Amino acid sequence: MVADLQILAQGGLTVIGRLEGSTNHAMLVQVAWPGRASLDAVYKPTAGERPLHDFPSGTLTRREVAAWLVSEAIGWRIVPPTVLRDGPFGEGMVQRWIDPDPTVDVVAMVIDDDPRLRRMAVFDAIINNTDRKGSHLLPVAAEHADGQANGHASGHAGGHVYGVDHGVCFSPVPKLRTVLWGWRGTPLADDELAGVELVRDALTAGLGDGLRALLHPTEVAATLRRAERLLRERTFPNPRPDWPAVPFPPF
């Protein structure tokens, strides 16, 4: 059976339309494969990126793929399958489309510190996510969660929680900006520490090689330092006094 990742990387892309509100010309596409139903996906062409003053031009799509590599290394499947490939408008990121559960109140999840978001907060601390908005959280219905539970049981409806939009991550400068501060300064759980250890160890092997193909070596080295710091301090990070703690808008 052909895996979704292979279809995303090699299937034929047909643009359905541009995603409303996207600042980087993100598009909904269908990815075709012989004998299989088409996959819906998000295509973000590198050429459509809006220049930013604090990230090198033409690197955001690669950061999206780098975030998926870390997600795979930690084993929590936070980021949907993501590849870097050629498309109708040149090189870009192609990521499997996720249909969120419309019955889940994401604002309530954040305000109530839904335990499933703990792993997302750890992941963001590792990759130095500068823009974890509530709208970047995609809870899916339990029956569509691919058999994967994200963290502990929760009183909120839904199953697994995906995270998307990781184009502004991996800066070597501390810039964590997120709506997930509910556990700041509190101890990391054993399973969370084990996940960070997996990333730390992988960064000295295959994951490090994969990230260096997408990021500057200083950014990969900074990712390792962040993982090591989390393991050393064994707590969720606190906001920095010299950097906005929450993105705007937060949702």
Three-class DSSP labels, 12-56? EEEEEEECCCCCCCCEEEEEEECCEEEEEEEEEEHHHCCCCCCCC
Q: Report how far residue 174's alpha carbon sits from residue 101's, in angstroms, rounded to the nearest whole number.
A: 33
Helix (H) or strand (E) segment spanning residue 223: helix 217-233
Q: Which residue has the higher pLDDT, 139 or 141?
A: 139
Do residues 174 and 243 touch, judged by C-beta distance below 8 A?
yes
Structure tokens at 228: 């090591």
Query: Between these two residues, 234 and 37, which has the higher pLDDT value?
Result: 234
pLDDT digits (tens, 9 = 90+) for 1-14: 568 999 999 999 99
DSSP one-letter code for 95: E
The DSSP bridge partners found for residue 28 are 17, 42
> Is the pLDDT reported for residue 148 higher than 60?
no
pLDDT at 51 over 60: yes
175 and 202 Cβ atoms separated by less than 8 Å: no
At 158 the pLDDT is: 56
What is d(CA 154, CA 158) in angstroms, rounded to the nearest whole number?
9
Mean pLDDT of 27-43: 94
Res. 223: pLDDT tops 80: yes
CA atoms within 13 Å, Cβ hemisphere of 168: 20
Report the candidate in 38, 40, 180, 151 with the shortest Cα–Cα distance to residue 99.
40
Please say whether the beta carbons of 61 and 46 come within 8 A.
yes
CB distance 70 to 62 below 8 Å: no
pLDDT of residue 24: 81
At residue 156, the pLDDT reads: 45
The reported pLDDT for the residue numbered 155 is 37
Domain ranges of the chain: 4-96, 106-233
Greater confidence (152 vs 44) lies with 44
Q: Which residues, other chains included, contact 50 with Cβ-Cβ below 8 Å and sequence gap of 6+?
A: 23, 24
pLDDT at 2: 66
Mean pLDDT of the chain: 91
Give the whole-angstrom CA distance, residue 30 versus residue 97.
9
What is d(CA 117, CA 44) in angstroms, rounded to the nearest whole number?
A: 26
pTM of the model: 0.91
The per-residue pLDDT for 149 is 36
Strand order in the sheet with 27-33: 12-18, 27-33, 36-45, 90-96, 82-87
Q: What would the mean pLDDT of 91-101 be, rounded to a whole number?
A: 96
Neighbours of 75 (CB within 10 A): 14
Write phi, then psi, for 45 (nearest 5 degrees).
-70, 140
Q: Which residue has the higher pLDDT, 132 or 251?
A: 132
Instruction: Report the pLDDT value the prediction gives residue 249, as an integer from 0 to 100.
Output: 85
Specify the pLDDT at position 143.
55
